[in-house]
Amino acid sequence: MNQDIRAYNNVLELIGNTPLIRLNSILKDYPGNYYAKIESFNPGHSSKDRIALYIIEQAEKKGILKPGDTIIETTSGNTGFSLAMVSVIKGYKCILAVSSKSSNDKIDMLKNMGAQVYVCPAHVKADDPRSYYQVAKRLHEEIKDSVYINQYFNELNIDAHYASTGPEVWKQTNGKLTHFVACSGTGGTISGTGKYLKEQNSAVRVLGIDAYGSVLKKYHETKEFDPNEIYPYRIEGLGKNLIPSATDFDIIDHFEKVSDEDSAHTARALVKSEGLFLGYTSGAAIQGVKQMAEQGEFTEDSNVIIMLPDHGSRYMSKVYSDDWMNDQGFFDSKNEKDVLQVQF
């Protein structure tokens, strides 16, 4: 090895330490300073690289994983891609049970990263044998020397963000942040980062973004699981039809619900206003911030850090397809600013 050549030893060394970028345009009508933490700068293009590496390395430390073993997970796509990437470098097999709601782009990416993929129906109950939870559980029982990551019910998901995202945000802001905003899916990001930040300064407000069609906000407010809250929605990776134990509800001060349509328009507006080509939940996060700003959550002195979880390239056949937007009826709305391509 030539010591003069400054190179990373492998792609995993690039995980974490993502940049904070000031938002100059999209939130300019609201009081406060807004900064986005751009998780697509991770080598697997999402925040899930952090938990994939952390959980696998914890299992290695405990002697649970050895080269050649199999890693199994349920995933909306991003966690799968990160696990598959870590598996390539560390020599594991990777099997993923994926929701049929995931875009084809995401599924193809997983396969190309070497994972074996099972696509499971999105709109069945979690305890249905066809659900991606049950499929993953069954595969774990059947395959010897396999580890089930189980991100929704794995405390290490919280620990991963407590160990990396939290300290990064604190350092990058010199402790001057007033609000931390993150989408909640497994809840790992908001819980781990929020816990670290509140330990440094208990006044930091931790704000979660939830989807219409998900139970999280209602559960947070009432401590009761209300199945009437559940209905299909299109945003991938945000909200849930069950209560994940990887969510620490006590850390979260408020949940804001966002719609598929508003989030899609906001994701597209983020590209055009800030040059940030990011995922559907990044649009959801900014949309939630707008709504909370309108409710008076922020003042001129607020320093708001917004986690933007993944890259736009994963949504070419969805949010960034005019045809898809049109099929959803999203172009019928009054707030539409995009212009459909003229057909000749």
Q: Which residues bind ligand PMP (CB under 6 A)?
A: 76, 78, 183-189, 237-238, 279, 281, 309-310
Minimum gap (Å) between residue 185 Cβ and ligand PMP: 3
Minimum gap (Å) between residue 3 Cβ and ligand PMP: 38
The number of beta carbons lying within 10 Å of the beta carbon of residue 32 is: 17
- CB-wise, 188 or 213, nearer to ligand PMP? 188
| Residues whose CB falls within 8 Å of the CB of residue 329, separated by 6 or more in sequence, listed in order | none
Strands 254-258 and 146-148: what pairing? unpaired
> Catalytic annotation on 217?
no
- CB-wise, 69 or 170, nearer to ligand PMP? 170
- CB-wise, 70 or 151, nearer to ligand PMP? 151
Instruction: Check: CB of residue 20 under 8 Å from CB of residue 305.
Output: yes
- CB-wise, 69 or 209, nearer to ligand PMP? 209
Minimum gap (Å) between residue 226 Cβ and ligand PMP: 20
Instruction: Check: CB of residue 96 under 8 Å from CB of residue 118.
Output: yes
User: CA–CA separation, 227 vs 235, rounded Å?
Assistant: 19
Catalytic residue among 37, 48, 195, 240: 48
Minimum gap (Å) between residue 6 Cβ and ligand PMP: 32
Q: Which residues belong to the active site?
A: 48
